[in-house]
Each structure stands twice: as structure tokens, then as C-alpha cells.
Amino acid sequence: MNTITIPKNITGGEELVIIPREKYDEFLHLRQIVKNEDIEDSDTDLALKVYQEEKRGRKLQTINSLADLD
């Protein structure tokens, strides 16, 4: 992806970056997703769900069981 940075002395104090419209639209879309969903919480919820399912099914790997593989 080609980018162009316009120095602060030309823009009057702010540095500007020019990117292709397609990448800008993609950025806006991702920003909207992050704004609408608390991604960190949903990732944590998923991790806890997987942990609980593996623990119930006795598939949960522990440090001790991993040491036995050597």
C-alpha cells in the first residue's frame, strides 16, 4: 500500500497521511465494529467458555500434564 505523509510545516501543525480510499473505508468499517462491540469482553467471554467446556470434558491441559510429554 502506498502512503504519502505531508509534513507538519506544510499543513500548519498537523501531520497528514494519504491512503487509498479502499483502505480508509476498511478502517472506518473496523472502527465501527470496535465501537459497537466490546471486543475485549467478547474475547474474554469466549476464552472462559472454552476453558469451562474443556474442564468439564477433562480435556484441559495443565502444566503438569505438559511436562509429562517430555
Q: What is the per-residue pLDDT across 30-67, written as a single tens digit (0 to 9) for each?
A: 888 777 766 666 777 888 888 888 878 777 666 666 66
Whole-Å CA distances, 48 to 24, 26, 37, 53: 34, 30, 18, 9
The answer to pTM > 0.95 is no
Q: Helix, strand, or coil here: 10? A: helix
DSSP 26-53: HHHHHHHHHHHS-HHHHHHHHHHHHHHH
The pLDDT of 2-7, averaged and rounded, is: 80
For residue 7, the one-letter residue type is P
So what's the pLDDT on residue 68?
Answer: 58
Backbone angles phi, psi at 17, to 5 degrees: -125, 135
Instruction: Give the best-scoring range by mean pLDDT among 6-10, 12-16, 25-29, 37-41.
Output: 25-29
